[in-house]
Amino acid sequence: MFTDALPNLLILGAAGHVGSALVQSLNTLYRDRVNIIGAVHSQVDAQHLRSSCAMVAEYDWDKIDTLAELFSGSDLAAAGSTSQRIDYVFIVPSHDENRVEQVERLMDCAIAHGHVRYVILLSLIGTNSRAGTFASQFKDMETCVEESGIPYTFLQCALFQHLFLMCAPQLAQELPTIALPLGMGGFAPVHTSDVASVASVLLSDPAAHRYQRYQITGPEVLTGVMIAGKAAEGLGLPVRFQSITSDEARQQLEQLGFCDAFIDGQLELYDLIRDGFFAHVSPDVGRLTYFRGATLVEFFREHRGYFLAYDASGGGGAADPDPPSTQPSQRERRRDLANDGPAAETHVGSKPNMRSHAVTALIPGHLVLCDGQGTLRNKRVPVQGNGRAQYRPSRPRAAAVSKL
């Protein structure tokens, strides 16, 4: 339902991790500040948002008529908006290779509409470096928004913590694993709910944030060793980190069904991480929200049920039943390990004692044991094969945060 005195906010990608977190954040903190119009790609997505948005509309990035309809006064009037205009736009770019052209078409529609007063673009840290096609595309999108003449803010984000949902098949192995091509590089992954919290602050007072670029990172820089330790702490399981090559990472992402454009962009980001480009923490989240961002441990605790229920042998998710068998499944063994706490034991290769240890790989093909704090141990064990399973992301929930 529209409230006449409030501005209308259009959220592109309202059903995604960031978009849905923004809808939740606005409804929790700033329900009396904006009318939310959620733009989604399907009726299935629309059903999830109807109760939390004043209006839900479908669109296709590559069909200009559907983008123009998002700004249609008649459609807004039919949904109950007396102002019949879009005041603010929040853009989550797609993963498509032509994402720059898509944003250009959207901005053309916003300019033609004539009433848009403020745009927030979800962007990427490092756009000024133009390091690789992926980063340069975000720079081009920023330029497109700048040249529109509409006041804007760019949220230049680090990689999201939800990236690790893609590791569910690896974490479902008998010895849970996080395998990424990070080398010795580190980055500060950010929770999507923290991105949403920052966006909510901006939308509560757009005039105070116009023409700003904010860097949105997590609260701590983590290497692969440390990521394994955080996962172990959050899930209550022994976890190993395996450093893999870019080709192996491409194969993993292809098995998960991602498109080539997304895979190419992700591999470029991994290259930047290895080069140390993302190894810093920005103060902007705390400065804008007065809260520290969610840690990676909190993320894994938040999604613990999803990870523990994921069955690599059958590709099952949290809602799937255990497979009929007289032998314990991988899922059951992981539950036993988690219930036993840090003293739980598992074996790999020559069956070293893995009590309360995560693992890291400094050389592809070998593992070095480390404890939950990332302390290296002088043991090596051979790498086992990766399990395969279908990627099923869980829906985002508000992250636990602590006041500064």
pLDDT computed for residue 74 by the predictor: 77
Taking only the tens place, the pLDDT of each residue in 175-230 is: 899 999 999 999 999 999 999 999 999 999 999 999 999 999 999 999 999 999 99
Residue type, 22: L
Looking at the domain assignment, is residue 58 inside a domain? yes
Pick the last residue of a domain from 107, 135, 157: 157
Residues 130 and 238 both lie in one domain? no
Residues 96 and 237 both lie in one domain? no
Looking at the domain assignment, is residue 345 inside a domain? yes
- pLDDT above 70 as % of the chain: 76
Residues 93 and 227 both lie in one domain? no
Whether residue 276 has pLDDT greater than 80: yes
Looking at the domain assignment, is residue 129 inside a domain? yes
Residues 138 and 274 both lie in one domain? no
Nearest residue to 253 via CA among 242, 265, 243: 265
Taking only the tens place, the pLDDT of each residue in 342-382 is: 333 232 332 233 233 333 333 333 333 333 443 333 333 33
Residues 121 and 246 both lie in one domain? no
Higher confidence at residue 340 or residue 97? Answer: 97
Pick the last residue of a domain from 112, 142, 157: 157
To the question of pTM greater than 0.85 for the whole model, the response is: no
Which structural domain, as residue segments, surrounds residue 104?
8-157
Residues 250 and 346 both lie in one domain? yes
Mean pLDDT of the chain: 79
- Between 51-60, 106-115, 248-257, 304-313, the lowest mean confidence (pLDDT) is in 304-313
Pick the last residue of a domain from 140, 157, 174: 157
322-331 — which CB contacts under 8 Å span 24+ positions?
330/172, 330/173, 330/174, 330/387, 331/172
First and final CA of the chain: distance in angstroms?
Answer: 36
Residues 260 and 348 both lie in one domain? yes
Angle (deg, nearest 10), helices 260-274 and 246-255: 150
Residues 255 and 371 both lie in one domain? yes
Residue 333 and residue 301: Cα distance in Å, rounded? 18
Give the bridge partners for 154, in sequence order.
121, 213
Residues 149 and 229 both lie in one domain? no
Looking at the domain assignment, is residue 1 inside a domain? no
Whether residue 393 has pLDDT greater than 90: no
pLDDT computed for residue 324 by the predictor: 36
pLDDT computed for residue 116 by the predictor: 97
Looking at the domain assignment, is residue 46 inside a domain? yes
Whether residue 47 has pLDDT greater than 50: yes
Residues 242 and 322 both lie in one domain? yes
Looking at the domain assignment, is residue 173 inside a domain? no
The CATH number of whichever domain residue 81 belongs to comes to: 3.40.50.720
Taking only the tens place, the pLDDT of each residue in 118-152 is: 999 999 997 776 567 788 899 999 999 999 999 99
Looking at the domain assignment, is residue 2 inside a domain? no
Residues 247 and 141 both lie in one domain? no
Taking only the tens place, the pLDDT of each residue in 1-11 is: 788 789 999 99
pLDDT computed for residue 130 by the predictor: 55
CA angle 373, 378, 381 (to 5 degrees): 100
Whether residue 163 has pLDDT greater than 60: yes
Question: How many C-beta atoms lie closer than 10 Å to residue 75's C-beta?
Answer: 15
Q: Domain tally for the chain?
A: 2
Phi-psi region for residue 135, left (φ > 0), alpha (ψ -120 to 50) or beta? alpha
- Between 251-265, 305-319, 357-371, the lowest mean confidence (pLDDT) is in 357-371
Looking at the domain assignment, is residue 28 inside a domain? yes
Nearest residue to 358 via CA among 242, 245, 271, 250: 242
Residues 258 and 374 both lie in one domain? yes
